[in-house]
Amino acid sequence: MNLEYSFYPESKTQGFTNIDGTISFYKRVNSFLKKDFLVLDVGCGDGESKSKEQVILRRQLVNLKGKVKKVIGIDIDKRGQQNPLIDEFKLIEDKAHWPVKNNSVDLILADYVLEHFEKPEIFFSESKRVLKNKGQICIRTSNSWNYIVILAKLLPANWHKKIIKKSQPKRALKDVYLTFYHCNSFFKLREMLKKFNFKGRIIGFESEPRYLNFNAFLYFLGVIHQKIAPAIFRANLFVFVKKV
């Protein structure tokens, strides 16, 4: 039984739900792009899952290459140089200093990356350094006030990969990294943005409860939560801010 088809029947015909998180986030990202932009993809990874995305609309939206002047990917993992969605790769050898020039970037993309920063101040200080004046940051990250993250924190770390394998069998375990969630709530993000003088908007967003698709009752509870949860408790946070 396909639980997504049952609770979100539109996905059966169009291949995605009307609340698809990737589509919603990247539509906003694409709206900021200009042909002469230099985009920095922080924590770009090898791009395998994005480049092989089966849903055409998702695959078109996540690929920023060709829509702007250049997409530079940076990562602490050398596998990033295999990413087909970037024009250039630079390895982060010093976590406190990105290999990017001052005031050179028009837009920074950080898609499920912020939660992996043990010291999120580094992300925001380096973003401020490399961004041009009025440069844009686009962040998608997990909300530490959501039930999924709360449960993840309560469970032993060695259980995480087993649970992901059960709930998301198509996800490669090599893409599962250590998480800290040190700046993953509305309030912590607002404090950090104020500290580094970024102005913009934080959006609480929740798509279909894919992590619960192994159990019909839990999935049903996830659907209820998705429909009624206040923004501060929703699974994901979208952050769109500018350097001022």
pLDDT digits (tens, 9 = 90+) for 72-129: 999 999 999 999 999 999 999 999 999 999 999 999 999 999 999 999 999 999 999 9
* Cα gap 189→183, rounded to integer Å: 6
Q: How confident is the model at residue 154 (pLDDT cuts 50, 70, 90)?
A: confident
pTM of the complete model: 0.92
Domain count, the chain: 1
Asked if 234 and 143 count as a contact pair (C-beta separation under 8 A), the reply is yes
Residue 176: name the closest of 59, 33, 49 by CA: 49
Could you tell me the residue range of the domain that residue 110 belongs to? Answer: 3-243
Q: In percent, how much of the chain has pLDDT > 90? A: 85
Task: Indicate if the pLDDT at residue 159 is higher than 80.
Answer: no
168 token code pair = 């998301």
> What separation in angstroms does the CA of 181 have from each of 47, 77, 97, 184?
23, 20, 21, 5
Q: What is the mean pLDDT of residues 17-38?
A: 98
Q: What is the mean pLDDT of residues 54-65?
A: 97
Q: How confident is the model at residue 214 (pLDDT cuts 50, 70, 90)?
A: confident
Residues 6+ apart with CB under 8 A from 121: 192, 195
Distance of CA 5 to the CA centre of its chain: 25
Q: How confident is the model at residue 211 (pLDDT cuts 50, 70, 90)?
A: confident
Mean pLDDT of the chain: 93
Q: What is the mean pLDDT of residues 201-226?
A: 95
Asked if 110 and 43 count as a contact pair (C-beta separation under 8 A), the reply is yes
Asked if 108 and 134 count as a contact pair (C-beta separation under 8 A), the reply is no
What pLDDT does 174 receive? Answer: 54
Torsion of CA 125, 128, 129, 135, to 10 degrees: 160
CATH of the domain at 171: 3.40.50.150
Distance of CA 12 to the CA centre of its chain: 25
